[in-house]
Amino acid sequence: MFDDFFIRALIAGIGIALVTGPLGCFVVWRRLSYFGDTLSHSALLGVTLAYSFELNIALSVFLISSAVALILIQLQKKTNLPGDALLGLLAHSSLAVGLVVIGFLTFIRFDIMGLLFGDILAVTTNDLIIIWLGGAIILLVLKLIWKPLFASTVNYELAEAEGLNPDRAKAAFTILMAAIIAISIKMVGLLLITGMLIIPAAMARNISDSPRKMVFFSVIGGLLSVIIGLFSSLEFNTASGPSIIAASLFLFILSLLKIKQSIQLKN
């Protein structure tokens, strides 16, 4: 009925949505959307390194994104620049360096559009293993650090005072961000990964009154976005990343209607 590549893309997308759902909630709660952008922009450098040294793309992206996260933390400690300026500096310079390096790699044909916006044709069986295995590890670690991470998101000092070790949870979460970018870059594209994290979570916020519900709806929203997005990508021959993100925007707009309704009910 469907071609193999489309089934693979669907399985990959579902795996990604299961992970971006809960992770995205924390990105929204902890105001990390620009941090996510910075990590994903630096992923291009990771991809070029992967091609240069024949490494696995996900592994290489993961290493570069983690390195950029570490550099960011050091810069925050050692300079007086505000956080958003540092994020912008790292995001654009790593993107620029990545593009320059691509210019040198004349012996490889690059599909830059595919890198930036995702390409469902590019998902291999190998990628599926990386996405589902990597995704399972990310969710497992997130479950382990959930309590301290959530408590310190609500109030850092409470978490610290009552012995939850929030700093360790925060460091682990940073690694998880690098990991989700690494496993979803082929599918969603590096310019749009943060959208996949934020938009379903934002949609979920509109219709939730507890953290648990927000995570649940965020996962559902991500899954629907992937399914709707991929089918329309196939139907209209559009890039997979933008199609998925556009679908999540559509769901977000629907969720606004629910807010309007509940405000009317209150009045």
- What residue ranges bind another protein (CB under 8 A)? 28-29, 31, 147, 150-151, 153-155, 157-164, 205, 208-214
Which residue's CB is nearer to another protein, number 41 or number 205?
A: 205
CB 181, min distance to another protein, A: 22
Which structure tokens are listed for 57?
A: 């793309």
Q: Which is nearer to another protein, 151 or 175 (CB)?
A: 151
Integer CA distances (angstroms), 160 to 30, 69, 91, 156, in order: 17, 23, 31, 6
* Residue 207 burial class via C-beta count within 10 angstroms: exposed 0-12, middle 13-18, buried 19 and up: middle
Least separation, in Å, of the C-beta of 49 and another protein?
35
Q: Quickly count: other Cβ atoms within 10 Å of residue 68's Cβ.
A: 23
Of 108 and 161, which has the nearer Cβ to another protein?
Answer: 161
**What does the DSSP assignment read for 95-122?**
HHHHHHHHHH-TTS---HHHHHH--GGG
Minimum Å gap between C-beta 158 and another protein is: 6
Compare residues 154 and 253 and give the one whose CB is closer to another protein: 154
Q: Are 15 and 58 in contact (CB under 8 A)?
A: no
Among residues 157 and 235, whose Cβ is nearest to another protein?
157
Residue closer to another protein by CB (options 62, 217) is 217
Based on CB atoms, which residue is closest to another protein, 92 or 143? 143
CA distance 225 to 248: 5
DSSP per residue, 24-72: HHHHHHTT-HHHHHHHHHHHHHHHHHHHHHT--HHHHHHHHHHHHHHHH
Work out how close the CB of 64 gets to another protein at its nearest, in angstroms, rounded to a whole number: 29
Q: Which helix (H) or strand (E) holds 3?
A: none
**What is the closest distance, in whole angstroms, from the C-beta atom of residue 39 to another protein in the complex?**
20
- Residue in the structure block whose two tokens are 């910075």: 38
Nearest approach, Cβ of 153 to another protein (angstroms)?
A: 7
Tokens of 146: 């959930």
81 DSSP 8-state letter: -
